[in-house]
Amino acid sequence: MTYRAKFEQELEDLKLELIKMGDIVISNINDGLKSFLSMDITLAEMTIKKDKMVNDYEKTIEKKCLQIILKEQPVAKDLRLITSVLKMITDLERIGDHAADISKMTIFMQKSLKPYVIPHMKLMTEASQKMIKKALDSFVKQDLGLANAVINDDDEVDAYFEEIKGIVAEAIRHNEIDADYALYMMMVAKYLERISDHAVNIGEWVIFSVLGEHNHNVIF
């Protein structure tokens, strides 16, 4: 295997590790919301424990990135790609934290409280998950169109957040929802909004890896 072929294989391995980390994060988001909506304490506790896997992936990928930089001393596009990975794993780790935070909301609540169903919560979760998948896919394919689509998709998640806020406020006015549950539901919705913001960050780092610019500022 030539030097270049070996180096490119190392980069492909990095991408694969990033995808695996992203898959766990997406699964944790889904389980976190499911545990909250169904008040499933067991699932919530399992999801919180799984966050350690996300943290472990972050450390492993970070170590591999630094090893490649020190050993191969990459330049130009290769260095941008590795730098982007270092930034993206930070965003994925934050997303993992928010998934765990959603599960913690379940544990904070009393099992006896009756959940208040808002279909928009599931739709907001699905939209956030799609953004993460699309962002990671854009990185693997180095696809600027997909990366920019992720950034634009954030408007949909923001719209869901506003709708949920209005529905919860209306339910409170009509005494249709427990006050504590309403508070925690809004916190969960806020975590989902933050998750989509981190997906946007990943999309922006994909653009950097291709063009060398971040938020329209040329870096290298």
Domain parsing of the chain, residue ranges: 3-218
User: In this predicted model, what pLDDT tens digit does every residue of 143-168 receive, in sequence order?
Assistant: 999 999 999 999 999 999 999 999 99
Tell me the average pLDDT of the chain. Answer: 92
Whether residue 135 is predicted with pLDDT greater than 80 in this model: the reply is yes
What pTM was computed for the model? 0.93
With a CB cutoff of 8 Å and minimum separation 6, the contacts of 92 are: 18, 21, 22, 25, 54, 57, 58, 132, 198, 202
User: In this predicted model, what pLDDT tens digit does every residue of 173-187 receive, in sequence order?
Assistant: 999 998 888 999 999
Q: Domain 3-218, CATH 1.20.58.220 — does that match?
A: yes
User: In this predicted model, what pLDDT tens digit does every residue of 89-127 receive, in sequence order?
Assistant: 999 999 999 999 999 998 888 665 677 889 999 999 999
Residue 41 pLDDT: 93
